[in-house]
Amino acid sequence: MKKRLDQQRRRVLQGLSLIGLGSLAPLGLFADTNSAITRPIPKSGEQLPAIGMGSWLTFAVGDDPRAIATRVKVLEAFFEMGGRLIDSSPMYGSSEEVIGECLARIKPGKKLFSATKVWTTGWQQGVRQMKRSQEKWGIEGFDLMQIHNLLDWETHIETLKAWKAEGRIRYIGITTSHGRRHDELVEIMQNEAALDFVQFTYNIEDREAEQRLLPVARERKLAVIINRPFQRGGLFDTTLGKPLPPWAKEIDCQNWAQFFLKFVISHPAVTCAIPATSRVDHMRENMAALQGRLPDAAMRKQMIAWYRKVS
Ligand SMILES: NC(=O)c1ccc[n+]([C@@H]2O[C@H](COP(=O)([O-])OP(=O)(O)OC[C@H]3O[C@@H](n4cnc5c(N)ncnc54)[C@H](OP(=O)(O)O)[C@@H]3O)[C@@H](O)[C@H]2O)c1
């Protein structure tokens, strides 16, 4: 049955191409979750879709029913278009509660790859906070627990090793978004064998991670989550009203969001980018970057040059 549906879908897409409407597919109107771009988690080989979702500010909407109803739609679009990894933190106000409320309504089951953070000092406080996050999300355990901004990481990493051994979490990670913490992060990446994931900032404007973080992550076989892929939305301000290059269609980009995301996920050390959005139309644009062709090294250089020219 599934095979027949896949064949029918392929025929529809081929038909659209023949009549010149094939470009609707990358727009996400006919998203094929089977052909979504995935990347392996280096230490396990498990495949993850190369685009996930962040939740800083965008999901911190408290108990406003209308705002929550919109977030349910945002997350429905995310899962429908092949998304899995949701990133949050106890630092993000009511985001974890709102994610929990959305998950209870959507019931994504095994589609969900849950990732949150521990952001406090002290062993006991860390354990308490992580258990509280589990309750907020309404799940039994997290796929990935990350130490937020390196805070008291020597303490938390011991707890996380024990939790992983007990099967309470599946992967251990650590995050930052500050260039000034890069030296310390590199040292941790090089010396802490228990790490599975690392998260930091990388986008077409802020490319500092290319110097050391990305090469070290590759060498140490760490999965890489990229935060701020849109530089907190700043990339859209810079390119407002500016045209995409004519060759953007060669990498199936219909808009700037896809241009920026494909730039990030085409770096060979990147596992997944986590753009945040509060809007269904933006989610659809972002998730459509999981389809179609990616730039090669030469085109990545062209993308940087074009961005510099228009910004
Ligand atoms: N240290 C850490 O651990 C750390 C630090 C920073 C971030 N993070 C994580 O990384 C995630 C992403 O970073 P971020 O939220 O700072 O910034 P971001 O994802 O780079 O940018 C988010 C902004 O982009 C806008 N946007 C999204 N899609 C768009 C589209 N298609 N067209 C136009 N605008 C669009 C959003 O506005 P709309 O709502 O209007 O779409 C929002 O204002 C965070 O949410 C968080 O989960 C972690």
Over residues 184-198, the pLDDT tens digits come to: 999 999 999 999 999
Distance CA 165, CA 51 (A): 28
Question: Rounded distance, CA 215 to CA 211, Å?
Answer: 7
Average pLDDT over residues 42-53: 98
Nearest residue (by CA) to ligand 1, atom 8, is 227
Count of CB atoms situated within 10 Å of the CB of 244: 16
Is residue 96 within 6 Å of ligand 1 at its C-beta? no
Distance 230 CA to ligand 1 centre (A): 6
Global confidence as pTM: 0.92
Q: Would you state the pLDDT for residue 177?
A: 84
Token pair listed for 242:
């500016």
129 vs 30, residue with greater confidence = 129
Per-residue pLDDT at 10: 46
CATH topology of domain 45-310: TIM Barrel (3.20.20)
Q: What are 108-131's pLDDT values in tens digits?
A: 999 999 999 999 999 999 999 999
C-alpha span between 52 and 41 (Å, rounded): 14
pLDDT score, position 178: 79
Closest residue by Cα to atom 41, ligand 1, is: 277
The mean per-residue pLDDT over the stretch 135-159 comes to 97
CA distance to 194, 260, 262, 266, 276, per residue, from 257 (Å): 34, 5, 9, 14, 12
Q: Is the pLDDT of residue 292 over 90?
A: yes
Environment class of 289 (CB within 10 Å of its CB; exposed 0-12, middle 13-18, buried 19+): buried
Task: Please state, as a whole number, how many other Cβ atoms lie within 10 Å of the Cβ of residue 260.
Answer: 26
How would DSSP label each residue in 143-177? EEEEEGGGTTHHHHHHHHHHHHHTTSEEEEEEE--
**Ligand 1 atom at shortest distance from the alpha carbon of 199:** 3
Ligand 1 centre to CA of 276 (Å) is 4
Question: Higher model confidence: residue 85 or residue 17?
Answer: 85
Q: What is the reported pLDDT for 58?
A: 98
Q: Is the CB of 175 under 6 A from ligand 1?
A: yes
Say if ligand 1 is within 6 A of residue 257 CB. Answer: yes
- Name every residue whose Cβ is closer than 8 Å to that of residue 303 and which is 6 or more positions away in sequence: 204, 245, 259, 263, 295
Where do the domains of the chain lie? 45-310
